[in-house]
Structure 1
């Protein structure tokens, strides 16, 4: 979860207590506003409520005293009704004044922006000295919990929720988990790239895994040996379709004929051979997806992996 945080009142920021990437705990102060005007309002409303309370208490005492006199006929009915009406009016005014005092106190409290949950500050959009309006975004915050990898997939790749994936560090290629689980696929695709955003939960993530870190997500399937590749990765040598893979030991490409199961929009479902299954199991499988018509066996190439930004 990545809530956007904002002040509930307008004002001038006087302090920023956190930086991007900082881990915070529930209740920690993130930013504060100048509370001078709001503090004056609290003082004014509190004084008004105190004055009305004193007036009402006196009026209530008078009402109790004259009630007995009214019952004995010592004072007229109209005189007692006036005393009672004044007490009731002052009580209503006191209730309104108390409500205004509470509102003023709440608004004064809103000058301090605190973390609602344990988590990490992702982005900061305001600095000390800035004047912000109520509800204006000042920072984004990732609540503590399982981290997720966000990756864009072809819009026609119909993966079921819960599908597994291998997640590794994009720089070191070190595998972080082989059991990432698909939690969500966006309902609306990006029309420019014809992709949809998918989020994979990373269980038991290492403590050195950072929000914003670049990862590589390798799709797997727990239901069969079939594998999904971009349609552009398929190449027909004349006898059968296949794909070019990069051998991890020497970074050279090798062509592997594979049976084509079906085409799903911009993706192809293939049945990998044993070498491809072994590389997939170890998280080392890399399939060339662009320029496949220009490759020759044994060439050393560099490919761009599907990379995901941690969010």
Structure 2
């Protein structure tokens, strides 16, 4: 049985809303509101949901770019929730991030060699000369040529830039890579190449991924397990096979019904949700989805359902299944 690499416990992130001359706090935007899950070593967990549901905020808290308002984040059984300075730097090499935009994530004033050598030098793993010697193998590992090292990011296509971003993330041999919409800015044909590269690297280097995306097809292609977020809450999480075959939460059912079906002969009944997504600054009482749910009951408006295991390693936060 694989050991737990990452353990996220009741994590919250509230952003204060300030008004007036004195900038007094008059409320909070509940971007992530009590999310818990685990990630095993060598596993890929996909996180899906509509824009604004808190996916990226969750990823940034795991990376410790953002400080959680509440809760705990354990990495390799070490509490990293409030690590700062030198303590955080010591462990940060073990978890890296691939960003959404391959154009803005690379410094246009640096060559590829400088971009990829910098992690070794900054973390005092190698001097500048030795760091540059390590660039060639990194480039070939992600499908680029060693001769590309002298080029600047502007000389590459979007897919090639994302390969450079992946190479930079792999430089320090991390255990965990958080990919935040890593292929959404790329053409569909290039997306599959990058996804296949990430899968190959996972097997080769025994990586674990948290793959954040709004694209259900992309998540299905790369993930072992899938978690579904709505309005800052994790509403369903389980194996990819079970979740895509028979989703339990009404929101997950609606998401999957709207996804394109690649098979011509398969017809899927589309579920159209009524109303708009509520504001995270003023979320509804009870279940956050009850204002749009076609199966809403009285208890849904009053009591917030907890994420509860309904079968082996499959959990859902819905009163219909509790």
TM-score, normalising length: structure 1 = 0.21
Higher helix share: 2
Higher strand share: 1
| Largest Rg, 1 or 2 | 1
TM-score, normalising length: structure 2 = 0.21
